[in-house]
């Protein structure tokens, strides 16, 4: 062994002898094996010679196979557990003294005791691929395309195909990439340490798509050694397995250029926008095949025609990022960059989005930067420290959900999340992100009792770091993706959520109107005889309707276990339940704001939603259920085709009360106007089961008003009370207007009238 060390040149590494470093490599404790393994020029007897060292646990022989030389060069074993060394004299024709060695100049060949051999290029012969600028931007938190540098990427270097791996783990003593290709032995492919950046990288030649891998991380603290999935991995195994999968996502050929160009030029806030929210795993299932999920490609074939027929402008998918627990519906994300394998591959999902765009349908994704689960293979305690989360549970843990909170004040964590948001827009052509649980990010005391939270430096409850992250996220998204929409699910009265950051806002385009949703559903749950005492619950929304750019959501959260379906919330017998539900939708589509409805609600689903069961599609055969579906379809088309119902959703000129105070009759009437104020729709809603005959409503102008929608129509399986197609205005002053309509207001119904101009 003394002779072998002498032959190695007795170089020093990190202040320790070569022998000690080799022992550490064999034990898996070395911090950067590239300093010892691979090719190294050293001084030997006054001459520069090339030393190549290789390591394969259990190997009994090794040799170098030089390019263009059929005769292998034997290597000397310098450690009994498979470390070998070769010294090449300057006269070797494959070398030029002192010059850099081409990474593909040689291959390592190992033979094992059982006679098997392994041969490939030396991973430590390849130089680092991340530049100093990459490292600088990563530390600064502005490397917004970081997913192109970290994770696993199929590359070709000097004609050699392989996979480049990168990961951030600043508190690791050693990081290795492990998989079937190295028998999950963390000693084999230890990664190159890029210093104070905390980033580790390695190029593994010979690997390709489909390879399973994880990062084995040995922390500098304690005895922490864990296998972690790739935070930037583009694909993963199907649960309960949890390995990351090498996946090249650059090969899909998109066919949606026309959509993307039109999207960038469109003024979405003054355009039609109706959203069909769905859970990909339970919209429909193949009951004949073990009740399995539809694939992304099957969804493209079956979902898109359905959504288009119903007239929706957008689909919103509950999270399709990889998650280990079905019952979390995707909201407890582990693989932030990985499309869930439940429904297919990344290319399959790209195909789905592409098909949506070619049919004129936009795609939003639910996105969860507010928290992440504690699963051992995920981000929690990633490198033996609280890297992505706060160490103090008063800041780093959600008491309600049992999940962890991102440390938004750390540059690299902000960068990780912003890069992730951009990733879905860049690589999957997503049209916008609905950001989940924004309120939990904004408030340090969210769902916490006194003493369970830490104030900010000014003594307040605002999470200043999260606020900075949100603003920065929205600024970057809007700068890079014209026409993409950022939507906040924010359940409090935080000001200016949907206002630009330069105007003091958070920078979102839209905000879910949770107040409208709660007040409206609470009102509808009352028996109609009592509604006169709750009239303010309907009118209150107009006090703040234009404080934000609102979306009116009737989402999955309203119909999950224990909350009843929307139909189940309605009072009365079956006829009244359906009439109430049709009235709810008619009122919703007339109210200022964009619209969102969860799957199954368009069919008046009787059962609560469960992620394990599909929509009850048999309801389409039932007249009252089919009637609700027809109404939703007509409402979507009216919303799209009537400018008065979508052009001015966020300003007072788009809305005016006719009569807000008829609580005794439980009737509301109002006008919706387009930018052209002469283009308007008159809306009257009756929230009781009593037909109101000869009910007078003031209108803006004289003329004939056609009844363009009546939720009580027989076509929707209503009682068919109405106004025989319309009614002429009379010169009878009413509601402060010179003209008025004398109409029949159907029971539990909304009716829309439009002035018929020549």
Q: Which residues are catalytic?
A: 436, 489
Distance, in Å, from the CA atom of 301 to the CA atom of 313, rounded to the nearest integer, reads 17
Number of H helices, E strands in the chain: 16, 38
- SS3 state at 325: coil
Compute, in degrees rounded to 10, the torsion defined by CA atoms 618, 621, 625, 629.
Answer: 100
Sheet (strand 117-121) strand order: 73-74, 59-66, 106-112, 117-121
Which whole-number Å values give the CA distances from 104 to 126, 205, 206, in the listed order? 8, 10, 12
Please give the helix or strand (H or E) that residue 380 lies within, else none: none
DSSP assignment of 521-590, as one string?
A: HHHHTS-GGGGGGGTHHHHTHHHHTTSS-EEEEE-GGGSSTTT--HHHHS-SSHHHHHHHHHHHHHHHHH
Distance, in Å, from the CA atom of 675 to the CA atom of 471, rounded to the nearest integer, reads 30
In this structure, are residues 166 and 178 in contact, taking their beta carbons and an 8 Å threshold? Answer: no
Distance, in Å, from the CA atom of 35 to the CA atom of 510, rounded to the nearest integer, reads 52
Sign of CA dihedral 545, 362, 258, 632: negative
Q: Which of 125, 172, 132 is nearest to 149 (CA)?
A: 132
Compute, in degrees rounded to 10, the torsion defined by CA atoms 533, 537, 543, 548.
Answer: 180
CA Rg, the chain, in Å?
32
Task: Name the E strands within 199-333.
Answer: 199-205, 212-219, 225-228, 244-245, 274-278, 285-286, 292-293, 314-317, 321-322
Other CB atoms within 10 A of residue 178 CB: 21
DSSP assignment of 338-373, as one string?
A: EE-GGG--HHHHHHHHHHHHHTT-EEEEEE-TT-B-
Angle at 487 between CA 322 and CA 340, to 5 degrees: 10
Which whole-number Å values give the CA distances from 721 to 519, 687, 743, 748, in the listed order? 28, 15, 11, 11
Distance, in Å, from the CA atom of 672 to the CA atom of 644, rounded to the nearest integer, reads 5
């Amino acid at each position: 062994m003394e002779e072998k060390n002498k032959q190695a040149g007795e170089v020093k590494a990190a202040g320790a002898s070569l022998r000690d470093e080799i022992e550490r490599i064999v034990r898996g404790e070395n911090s950067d094996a590239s300093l010892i393994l691979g090719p190294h020029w050293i001084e030997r007897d006054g001459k520069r010679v090339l030393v190549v060292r290789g390591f394969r646990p259990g190997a009994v022989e090794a040799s170098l196979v030089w390019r263009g030389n059929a005769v292998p060069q034997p290597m000397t074993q310098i450690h009994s557990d498979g470390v070998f060394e070769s010294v090449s004299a300057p006269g070797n024709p494959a070398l030029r003294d002192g010059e850099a060695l081409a990474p593909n100049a040689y291959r390592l060949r190992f033979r094992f005791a059982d006679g098997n051999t392994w041969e490939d290029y030396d991973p430590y012969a390849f130089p680092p691929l991340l530049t100093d600028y990459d490292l600088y931007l990563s530390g600064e938190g502005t490397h917004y395309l970081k997913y192109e540098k970290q994770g696993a990427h199929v590359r070709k270097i000097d004609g050699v195909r392989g996979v480049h791996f990168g990961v951030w783990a600043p508190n690791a003593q050693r990081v290795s990439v492990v998989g079937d290709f190295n028998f999950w032995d963390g000693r084999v492919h230890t990664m190159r340490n890029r210093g104070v950046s905390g980033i580790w990288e390695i190029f593994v030649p010979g690997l390709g798509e489909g390879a399973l891998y994880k990062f084995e991380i040995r922390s500098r603290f304690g005895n922490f050694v864990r296998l972690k999935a790739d935070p930037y991995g583009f694909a993963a195994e199907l649960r309960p397995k949890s390995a990351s999968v090498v996946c090249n996502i650059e090969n899909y050929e998109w066919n949606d250029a026309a959509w993307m160009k039109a999207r960038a030029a469109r003024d979405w806030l003054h355009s039609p926008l109706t959203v069909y929210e769905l859970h990909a795993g339970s919209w429909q299932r193949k009951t004949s095949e073990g009740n399995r999920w539809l694939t992304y490609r099957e969804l493209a074939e079956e979902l898109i025609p359905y959504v288009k027929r119903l007239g929706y402008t957008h689909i919103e998918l509950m999270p399709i990022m990889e998650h280990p627990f079905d019952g979390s519906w995707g909201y407890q994300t582990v693989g932030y960059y990985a499309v869930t394998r439940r429904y297919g591959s990344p290319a399959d999902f790209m195909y789905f989005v592409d098909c949506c765009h070619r049919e004129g349908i936009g795609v939003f994704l639910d996105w969860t930067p507010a928290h992440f689960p504690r699963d051992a293979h995920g981000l929690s305690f990633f490198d033996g420290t609280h890297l992505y989360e706060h160490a103090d549970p008063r800041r780093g843990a959600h008491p309600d959900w049992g999940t962890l909170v991102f440390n938004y004040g750390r540059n690299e964590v902000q960068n990780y999340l912003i890069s992730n948001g951009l990733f879905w827009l860049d690589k999957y052509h997503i049209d916008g992100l609905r950001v989940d649980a924004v309120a939990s990010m904004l408030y340090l005391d969210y769902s916490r009792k006194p003493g369970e939270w830490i104030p900010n430096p000014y003594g307040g409850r605002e999470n200043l770091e999260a606020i900075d992250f949100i603003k920065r996220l929205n600024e970057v998204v809007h700068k890079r993706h014209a026409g993409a929409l950022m939507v906040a699910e924010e359940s409090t009265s935080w000001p200016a959520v949907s206002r630009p950051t330069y105007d003091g806002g958070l920078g979102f385009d839209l905000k879910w109107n949770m107040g409208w949703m709660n007040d409206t559903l609470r009102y509808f749950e009352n028996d109609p005889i009592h509604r006169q005492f709750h009239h303010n619950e309907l009118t209150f929304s107009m006090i703040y309707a234009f404080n934000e750019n609102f979306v009116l959501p009737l989402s999955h959260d309203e119909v999950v276990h224990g909350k009843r379906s929307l139909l189940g919330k309605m009072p009365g017998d079956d006829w009244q339940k359906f009439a109430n539900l049709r009235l709810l939708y008619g009122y919703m589509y007339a109210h200022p704001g964009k619209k969102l409805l969860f799957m199954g609600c368009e069919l008046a689903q009787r059962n609560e939603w469960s992620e394990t069961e599909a929509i009850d599609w048999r309801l389409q055969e039932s007249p009252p259920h089919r009637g609700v579906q027809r109404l939703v379809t007509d409402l979507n088309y009216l919303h799209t085709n009537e400018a008065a119902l979508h052009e001015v959703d966020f300003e007072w000129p788009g809305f005016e009360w006719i009569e807000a105070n008829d609580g005794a009759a439980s009737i509301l009437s109002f006008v919706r106007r387009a930018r052209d104020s002469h283009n308007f729709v008159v809306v009257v809603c009756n929230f009781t089961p009593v037909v109101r005959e000869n009910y007078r409503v003031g209108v803006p102008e004289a003329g004939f008003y056609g009844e363009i929608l009546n939720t009580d129509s027989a076509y929707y399986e209503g009682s068919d009370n109405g106004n025989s197609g319309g009614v002429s205005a009379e010169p009878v002053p009413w509601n402060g207007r010179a003209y008025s309509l004398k109409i029949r207001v159907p029971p539990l119904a909304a009716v829309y009238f439009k002035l018929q101009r020549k």
